[in-house]
Amino acid sequence: MESPLPPVEQRVPGRWQIGTVSSIKEETPRVKSFWIELPMWMPHLPGQHYDVRLTAPDGYRAQRSYSIASSPLDEGRIELTIDRLEDGEVSPYFHDVVVEGDQVEVRGPFTSYFVWRGEKPVLMVGGGSGVVPLMAMLRHRRRTMPDLPMRLVYSVRHADDLIYADELGDDVVLTFTRDAPDGWDGHRGHIDAGLIADAGVDGGIAFVCGSSGFVETASQLLLESDYEPQQIRTERFGPTG
Amino acid sequence: MNGFISRGFTHRRRTPEELADRLPPGQYLESGWPVLTAGPTPDVPTDEWSFRIDGMVAQPREWNWEEFHKLPFETITKDIHCVTKWSKLDATFGGVSMDVLLEEAEPLDAYATFYSYGGYTTNVPVEEITDGKAWVVTEYEGEPLPREHGGPARTLIPHLYFWKSAKWVHGMTVLDHDEPGFWEMNGYNNHGDPWREERYWGD
C-alpha cells in the first residue's frame, strides 16, 4: 500500500537520561521555558518532543510529553516551554518546584511527522502554547536559511499570554482574540481567511498546533484557502498536564 | 529502575486506588476524550462509506453502511490507552467484531494493515485482531461516533495503544509480511502494547 509519507531514517533515541536545568525563563504568568543540559543529547528535528518523567520517593511516576522549543543547532541542550495546567501533575511541578541546577529525567527526541525538514514555503498557525514546536522551526530557519519563506500566524487570548514576545519579528502575524496590549494596532479576533491571506504564503506545507478546537478551526480555514489535506500537518494539545 | 527521585515531587494525581491497577505504566486517568490526529479531520458521509477486507484473503469483501449494519452488532466496554499518556476507563462503543468480518473474508496470511479515509494506515498482526480482541465501531456511548474521533467508523483494538485503532477506517489489507503504518514509520512502536510500555521505536 502506498504511504502518504516518505520513510525516515530509523534511529533509536529514547533512553531515559538525567538532564540538568541550567536556566529558567518566565515567558508569561503561566508559561516558563527551561533549558536542560543533556549528557546523551542528539540532534532533533524542529517539531519533535521529549518525554519527561517524574518519580516520587514511593516510586510513583508521572510522564508527559513536551515539544522542544530550541533549534538543534543548540548542541548538548534542549529548551522545553511548559504551560502550567492548574490540575496537572507534571507542569505544576516544573513551575512551582524546579529551580536552576535541578535534575530532571527525560528521553527523546520523538516522532517524525510534525517536523520541518527544510520544505518551503511554510505557513505555521499556532494557538496559545501551540506555538512552541513552531518556534523551534522558526528559530532553526532564522539561523540556517533566513531567506526561506516561512510565516507564523500566532493567536493568543490576552496581552499577557504572549510567549516569546521578544522574538516575534516580521515573519510573525499576531492576533489577540480577547484583549490586546495598549496601543496595539495589529490584528484582533480569531484567525480567519483574511489573516491567512495576510501571511502571504502561497502553497507549500502548513503546520497547525494548538488546542483541539483551534486546530479543527484553523485546518478547516486552510482547506478553504486551497490547501490540500496532505499539505497540512496538525498537532493538538489535549487536556493533559 | 535507576533509583532517580525527582527532588520535591510528592504530588499524586488523585487516581482512586481501585482504578490504579487498570492504568498501564506512565499513563494517567482522563475523564474527557482528547483528540490525536496528524492532519485535518476527514468528512466521510455514511452513504459513501464502506469497509473492505482485501489482500491475501480467500474472499475479498466489502460492506457499505447499510450492509454493515445488518451484521451482528455488539456493545463493547473497554479501557483505552493513548500513547500521549492518557487512559480512559470503561469507554462504551457499538460495532461489529472483527471475527464476524474475518470469518467472511478468511485471511490467508499473518499481517494486516488498516487503511483510512485521509490516508492513515496502521499495522497489526492478524492474531491480535481475532478471538474477541478487535471491532469496527460506529457508536460511542450509544450515539454515532463523533467525526473528530473517527466517525463514521473506526477500529477498536483496545489492548494496544489507541493509534492502532484507526479512525475513519475504510478497510484492511492482509499481507504476507509486516508493513509498518503511518505512526509506525514516524517513531511510534511497531507493536504498541501499553502494559509493556511499547511507545516508541526501540522500546
pLDDT tens digits for range B55-64: 999 999 999 9
Give the strand pairing for A49-55 and A61-67.
antiparallel
Residue A34: how many CA atoms within 13 Å on its side-chain side? 29
For residue A18, pLDDT over 60 is answered with yes
Say if the Cβ atoms of A234 and B37 lie within 8 Å.
yes
| Calpha distance A193→A197 (Å, rounded) | 6
Say if the Cβ atoms of A3 and B11 lie within 8 Å.
no
The burial of A183, by beta-carbon neighbours within 10 Å (0-12 exposed, 13-18 middle, 19 or more buried), is given as exposed
Q: pLDDT per residue over A78-133, tens digit each?
A: 999 999 998 889 999 999 999 999 999 999 999 999 999 999 999 999 999 999 99
Q: Which of A6, A31, A5, A32 is nearest to A21 (CA)?
A: A32
User: Minimal Cα distance from A60: which residue of B?
Assistant: B12
Question: What average pLDDT does range B169-197 have in this prediction?
Answer: 96
| Calpha distance B102→B107 (Å, rounded) | 7
Q: pLDDT per residue over A168-189, tens digit each?
A: 999 999 999 999 999 999 999 9
For residue A11, pLDDT over 70 is answered with no
**Complex prediction ipTM:** 0.90
User: Minimal Cα distance from B20: which residue of A?
Assistant: A60
pLDDT of residue A72: 96
CB contact A99 to B (< 8 Å): no
CA distances from A235 to A18, A220, B13, B20, B36 (A): 27, 14, 25, 29, 7
pLDDT of residue B33: 82
SS3 B75: strand
CA A87, distance to chain mean position in Å, is 21
Q: Which of B73, B65, B192 is nearest to B135 (CA)?
A: B73
| Calpha distance A45→B161 (Å, rounded) | 24
Give A166→chain B minimum CA distance, Å: 30
Give A228→chain B minimum CA distance, Å: 9
- pTM surpassing 0.95? no
| Calpha distance A145→B123 (Å, rounded) | 37
pLDDT of residue A2: 46
pLDDT of residue B32: 82
Q: pLDDT per residue over B107-153, tens digit each?
A: 999 999 999 999 999 999 999 999 999 999 999 999 999 999 999 99
